[in-house]
Structure 1
């Protein structure tokens, strides 16, 4: 009997060793996978602008979706801001995009679904059908419906799509571009994301230029197209800056201060932002593409306050920049000499 057991144990030994080896390999693999760190976006410190701008009730949703899909939650907040101004306007867009983060039905449901653009609500909100055809809509709150008009579902779906784009191209700019297919959109989203965290946005690879307490306002160009002073028989109260391909490029605050005006101006400035600074100075940023940063916001030098446009009395996209001391326009060049010198263009 003992001899039989010995023979059996000898026969089983290689098999047992193989099982032990497999178990060890599996264990090591699991430890490696578990030890891989995912990006941690929970402990992001908001800037004062971010605290004032982002509705607090949405932040836990951004954070949860960001953690689940490994996407910086400030990107989700910025997309939400750009798409529907934090859900203050969820009307269907001219392109047919719907919901809190403006998905096309075909993207939500899947472009593989036959006649996706005309699918009924019962179809495009069905998680099983979305999953079957490979769409991006998500039932985040577990109510059995993936609803673009539900804020949790919308934000998680946006995170899902951005995460997928990142897995394909591993470039956040390109991942955001794939969401809307416009460079101005990428710049705006990244601009808000950086502003929410108090950072500065690089534009076309150029770093924001800070000199002491001031920043150059137009990162993509220093080309002055019109000087302060007499022009066309009237007084030009500031300088004009444009470099070509300017529409939608970020405009930055020259100095720290408080936004005291941000709206359409009937005096020819179009969309205008005015920032009040110390030493009785004010800076004017005119002809913006759309309404700029919210009135009452306290900004830092180099913070995005709007985007270059051609609104108001304008012949093309440019920034009209003024400095006023005691409400009187003065020549901005001496204040900008670090970047453009003191000699006017000929």
Structure 2
């Protein structure tokens, strides 16, 4: 059995689960989100694989950008943030106290906090002097995510909002958070990435009881497959989250928008360029419960040459591979027939 702990890089409390990283597991991916949000150049490539180096400062600014949740900070979880928002009044989140950089929260996690909790505020005043906010990249990302979270919750006809305050809140003690950073447990605790979008889907199940359609949010990637698809199965085989699948007859290609993280691997690997991300309304109930839709149905027929099933498009019942072979070697078949 694979020992996954051997594939976790740690620097103090911060961890990279290399088996969950798209760049490490899929050649058809060029994700650089963690590199873009790291001011310390803590992520490096060794023999083509992404690794975490010792220069990492454990700020957590890159966590919210990772599409597969391969990054984690020991002692920090969205559940603890949620508990704070629910139990306390007039909560203002900042990178002080028990919170790491607010960049640790992704768009879908900001959405989940609003849906499961209540309106709250946050301050980004510390960003101006923060060494991790190189060229304003981190602050811009946080603002954009909060704005999108507000828009998503509004699209669900709910009133909760996140407000960015301009005054400096009373600074709480950072002792509790730093105590967790140095606890001996982090040297032995294993981290395995949770499924992306988990918290948002859980929150939607609790708070949305009927179909509501939304469109054009960064964590929604509706797909379509053109008729040119030849049913090669590579998009299904290489999908890292199993958002693409087949029915039992392998004639229908199914898609679960709630599992898609927009990595683009299916589109890159398709030699027919048949699969595409499209602009389309998504039912949040379908999203939350991972309901599958049929993207394309194939008429499977048996090729009279190789006797294998293929996607029949009409005409002679011969698969594309055999048809191409016969065309490329037509002269050989002609000579063979003339010899008799």
Range class of TM-score, shorter chain: under 0.3
Q: TM-score, normalised by structure 2?
A: 0.27
Q: Which has the higher contact order (CA 8 A, sep 6+)?
A: 2
